[in-house]
A and B are shown apart, each in its own frame.
Chain A
Amino acid sequence: MAKRSIVPFGPQHPVLPEPVHLDLVLEDETVVGAVPSIGYIHRGLEKLVEKRDFKQYVYIAERVCGICSCGHGLGYCEAVEQVMGIEVPDRAKYLRTIWMEMSRVHSHLLWLGLLADAMGFESLFMESWRLREKILDMFDETTGGRIIHSVNCVGGVQKDMDSSMLNDILHAVKDLEGELKPVVETFLQDYTVQSRLKGTGILTKENAIAMGAVGPMLRASGVEYDARLLGYAAYKDLTVAPVTSQECDSYARCEVRLKELMQSFELIREAIGKIPEGDISVPVKGNPSGEFFMRIEQPRGEAIYYVKGNGTKYLDRFRLRTPTTSNIPPMVEMLKGCQLADVPVLILTIDPCVSCTER
């Protein structure tokens, strides 16, 4: 019987830019248990609904997380619109979709870079982040912000894109697609990458469902579920098919995200091809009264936005269940039995977003 020891992991550590802490229970080099402890970035944003009215709160919702900012704005607005029975103009729906897919591209490229960094593959990290700049430039051109865009508002969007902007996006997507090819090839074929990812961090289909995994984690374990198929924004008019893999390991999760990148490019093209002319927002009258659970597919997985209004301009309750909250229990499950040296890479394969989780 090997001796048990507990190794603290974090909060300040080189894998992630965000602080998170884990107590790893080890038997020699093998992890037998992990206890996550969070709270380093807890701000209590859900409480702010009592101080900001429901239209102002969009800006707070966007600042729950800088990486998933666009999606949080969208999810919150859609939830309030459902409560109030607002029908958003079609053009706004398409614009939201285009921004949302661009945000998925930026998030996945960011993740690929961080994964490469965690494996010690520095040049791959730099290359992924260099390519990500192309999408950030497009955000800058169309919204005026690189990270936080503030384009969604209750009743539509705040900014329109003219045809030259849409053209620029198409060009950027084309460039990106070409330049990504060697990167994708490296991630999928390279010996170093394969030796770190293949066969590690197995999460079986049964476990994924039982532990409540979401997003690429769930799909990489062979479950076909993509909240985009619910048809919010303009997704009901576009072709979305969940990208899945049956392998259940770290490599599968990487593969799913790479394929989703390609899918996002197609969706951006399709949306730009179909975007109708018209208004970008409708006037909002009255205050929300009632409740609604809104589900949207964030880059990291399904997020749930719960809004409860009481007829005043201040909401009773806003709750955000972020993808990482759901992915932490499967991660703990996945860590059991792995080697200590694999822990950083395994944590990264769930694409943790601590700022989202703690709000």
Chain B
Amino acid sequence: MAYQSEIRKVTKGEFFPAIVDMKAKDWRLVQICAVSVEGGYEMSYSFCKDYEMVTLRLDVEMDEEVASITQIYPCAFLQENEAAELFGVKITNIQTDYHDRLYRIDETAPFKKKE
């Protein structure tokens, strides 16, 4: 299928260099998605160039900190704030950090636990 996309697993050490590499090669950041899995989160960072799409997949433990990619991709701030607020992912140094006040919901991290 033409619109198949590649999912690349990256370790924490490879993560930042991979993002810098994407930026250097002019890939567009298209989406950031967090998924709650047992004992932590699965973060997906998707990039597009022309019609190709690549997703970098990073596994994060429950209380592990993830560095924000806003220094490289400033437009990531909305989706990183969203992941931090709705999932409770600990993302540090987001440029314009809303401190869990983006959606201003009453519940804390509603997506963290499965019902």
Say yes or no: A294 contacts B3, CB within 8 Å. yes
Say yes or no: A306 contacts B110, CB within 8 Å. no
Select B115's contact among A37, A51, A232, beta carbons within 8 Å. A51
Nearest-neighbour CB distance to chain A for B50, whole angstroms, equals 7
In this complex, how many residues of chain A approach chain B with their Cβ under 8 Å: the count is: 41
**Chain B residues whose CB sits within 8 angstroms of the CB of A209 once the complex forms:** 26, 28
**Chain A residues whose CB sits within 8 angstroms of the CB of B78 once the complex forms:** 36, 325, 328-329
In chain B between 76 and 91, which residues have their CB closer than 8 angstroms to a CB of chain A? 77-79, 86
B20-54 contact mask (Cβ, 8 Å, vs A): 1 or 0:
00000010111101011000000010101011010
Which of B10-18, B58-66, B99-107 contacts the other chain? B99-107
- When C-beta atoms are compared, the residue in chain B nearest to A324 turns out to be B78
A225 interface residue per 8 A CB criterion? yes
**Chain A residues whose CB sits within 8 angstroms of the CB of B31 once the complex forms:** 293, 304, 306, 319, 321, 326
Say yes or no: B44 contacts A302, CB within 8 Å. no
Say yes or no: A231 contacts B2, CB within 8 Å. yes
Decide if the interface of chain A is mainly helix, strand, loop or mixed. Answer: mixed
A113 interface residue per 8 A CB criterion? no
Say yes or no: A212 contacts B29, CB within 8 Å. yes
Known contacts A212-B30, A293-B53; A39 and B75 CB within 8 A of each other: no
**Chain A residues whose CB sits within 8 angstroms of the CB of B35 once the complex forms:** 308, 316-317, 319
- Give Cα A231–Cα B31 distance, bound, in whole angstroms: 21
- Give Cα A42–Cα B102 distance, bound, in whole angstroms: 10
- Give Cα A190–Cα B2 distance, bound, in whole angstroms: 42
Nearest-neighbour CB distance to chain B for A82, whole angstroms, equals 7
Select A225's contact among B1, B50, B75, B105, beta carbons within 8 Å. B50
- Give Cα A326–Cα B77 distance, bound, in whole angstroms: 10
In chain A between 103 and 150, which residues have their CB closer than 8 angstroms to a CB of chain B? none
- Give Cα A209–Cα B24 distance, bound, in whole angstroms: 12
B92 interface residue per 8 A CB criterion? no
- Give Cα A229–Cα B29 distance, bound, in whole angstroms: 19
In chain A between 31 and 52, which residues have their CB closer than 8 angstroms to a CB of chain B? 35-39, 42, 44, 46-47, 50-51
- Give Cα A36–Cα B110 distance, bound, in whole angstroms: 23
Nearest-neighbour CB distance to chain A for B10, whole angstroms, equals 16
Say yes or no: B96 contacts A304, CB within 8 Å. no
Nearest-neighbour CB distance to chain B for A121, whole angstroms, equals 32
**Chain B residues whose CB sits within 8 angstroms of the CB of A321 once the complex forms:** 30-31, 33, 79
A7 interface residue per 8 A CB criterion? no
**Chain A residues whose CB sits within 8 angstroms of the CB of B53 once the complex forms:** 293, 295
Nearest-neighbour CB distance to chain A for B2, whole angstroms, equals 5
Say yes or no: A326 contacts B75, CB within 8 Å. yes
- Give Cα A232–Cα B1 distance, bound, in whole angstroms: 9
- Give Cα A211–Cα B78 distance, bound, in whole angstroms: 12
Say yes or no: B44 contacts A329, CB within 8 Å. no
Nearest-neighbour CB distance to chain A for B55, whole angstroms, equals 6
Select B103's contact among A39, A82, A291, A308, beta carbons within 8 Å. A39
Select A329's contact among B1, B74, B110, beta carbons within 8 Å. B74
- Give Cα A210–Cα B47 distance, bound, in whole angstroms: 11
- When C-beta atoms are compared, the residue in chain B nearest to A327 turns out to be B75
- When C-beta atoms are compared, the residue in chain B nearest to A231 turns out to be B2
Binding site for B on A (CB under 8 A): 35-39, 42, 44, 46-47, 50-51, 82, 209-212, 214, 225, 229-232, 236, 291, 293-295, 302, 304, 306, 308, 316-317, 319, 321, 325-326, 328-330, 358
Interchain Cβ contacts under 8 Å between A and B, 9 examples: A39-B102, A44-B110, A50-B115, A211-B75, A212-B73, A293-B53, A294-B3, A316-B35, A319-B35
Binding site for A on B (CB under 8 A): 1-3, 5, 7, 26, 28-31, 33, 35-36, 44, 46, 48, 50-51, 53, 55, 73-75, 77-79, 86, 96, 98, 102-105, 110-111, 114-115
